[in-house]
Amino acid sequence: MEINWSFLKQEAEVRHFAKGDFLFRQGDEAPDLFFLHNGLARYVSVSDEGKEFTQSFAMGPRLAGSTRAMAGRCPVLFGIEIMEDALVLSWPWQVFFQQMSACPVFLRAYIQMLEALFIGKEERENALAKHTAEQRYLDFVTGQPELAERIPLQFIASYIGVTPVALSRIRHRLKAG
């Protein structure tokens, strides 16, 4: 059995997002599933004090969204900011889910994607709890070299849980050897 992709074309809303735009902001309702065709985005949370924390990055092609907001119909806990101009497709989650549920091959592919995301999330949480900032930086630049080249240092610092000044010190120390 093959995946019937035709419904995706029929139901999709296609939009262009510029650098600095948001797919949605923290606190918004976000009932849609997004497909980042190209470009780069970051998942960002803002504390009550206004401090930003980068949760993850998404590089197209990739699905994006808030499972909590789509399935639970509640406000999102983070925003998704476009870091490079992007072509994005979106579908109402319920439409996407109904179509996916009707196709076992499609459902299995979606489950495999979720498994990969959950594994990555577990590994990231483990690194935040157990690794030094220097090790988290090294893991990022060696594990995701293309992202490391494209992402501004301030967002890498936020992602590994340090200030930009602390990241500068880490980079200087690593260069000094």
- Give 124-142 pLDDT, tens digit per residue: 999 999 999 999 999 999 9
pLDDT tens digits for 47-93?
999 999 999 999 999 999 999 999 999 999 999 999 999 999 999 99
Q: Give the structural domain span for 97.
A: 6-103
Q: What is the CATH number of the domain that holds 68?
A: 2.60.120.10
Whether 137 maps to a domain, the answer reads: no
Domain membership of residue 165 (yes or no) is no
129 within some domain: no
Number of residues that this document lists for the chain: 177
Over residues 157-165, mean pLDDT: 97
**What pLDDT is recorded for position 7?**
63
Rounding to the nearest 10 degrees, give the CA dihedral for residues 64, 68, 70, 73: -150
| Domain count within the chain | 1
CA–CA gap between residue 134 and residue 21 (Å, rounded): 31
Q: Whole-prediction pTM value? A: 0.90
Burial of residue 148 (number of CB atoms within 10 Å: 0-12, 13-18, 19+): middle
